[in-house]
Amino acid sequence: MKIAFFDFDGTLTRHDTFIRFAKFSVGKMAFYKALIKSIPVICLWKLGLKSNSDAKQTLFSHLYKGMDYGWFKKLGYAFAPMIDNDSRPEIIEILKQHQRDGRKIIIVSASIADWIKPWAESYGIECVIGTEVEKDKHGRITGRFKTKNCHGAEKVSRIRELYPEIDTFETWAYGDSSGDDAMLSIVNHPNRV
């Protein structure tokens, strides 16, 4: 099997989509209120006393806790066309060349999968590995993540969970940050973009 793995934020896009999606989905005022409430945990993260996952989940909780998950998914579909305005055409062309060459494309991202999947579908990409949202029995977002934040070593864990025999495949990976280093280290053709 031949697979090309792509990070999303900063690789397929120029910027992080979390903040853009947050401002789009709840509005700038609500975003800044949630950000202010999250400052203590963000400061602890910056000081190395909390993980980036803790900071991200705290902000996510302040933004979306209690929101209907069905509505959240609809917001993801509404946001997807806006991602193209921030995409990196040169990396999109590489992705398309892999598709033309018959390779499976998998997006592996720390971002929430629900706003990446609609964008990916528009490019014929069926598999997105990302951070998943936890819902309660009433279909409301709990404010917690269902999976670990898909960052760093977690990217490799999730890839190996899906493809235990990954070491026998011919593989490519594209990433832009240290959060992608672990993923880049397990493929035959690593590409820093």
Digit-coded pLDDT (tens) for 16-47? 999 999 999 999 999 999 999 999 999 999 99
Q: Tens digit of pLDDT for each residue in 108-132? A: 999 999 999 999 999 999 999 999 9
Nearby residues of 176 by Cβ (< 8 Å), 6 or more positions away: 7, 10, 11, 192, 193
DSSP H helix total and E strand total for the chain? 8, 7
Q: Which of 77, 93, 68, 83 is nearest to 18 (CA)?
A: 83
pLDDT band at 138 (very low <50, low <70, confident <90, very high): very high
Check residue 88 and give left, alpha or beta (phi > 0: left; psi -120 to 50: alpha).
beta
The Cβ of residue 80 has, within 10 Å, a number of other Cβ atoms equal to 18
pTM beyond 0.85: yes
Encode pLDDT of 158-181 as tens digits: 999 999 999 999 999 999 999 999
Residue 158, pLDDT score: 98
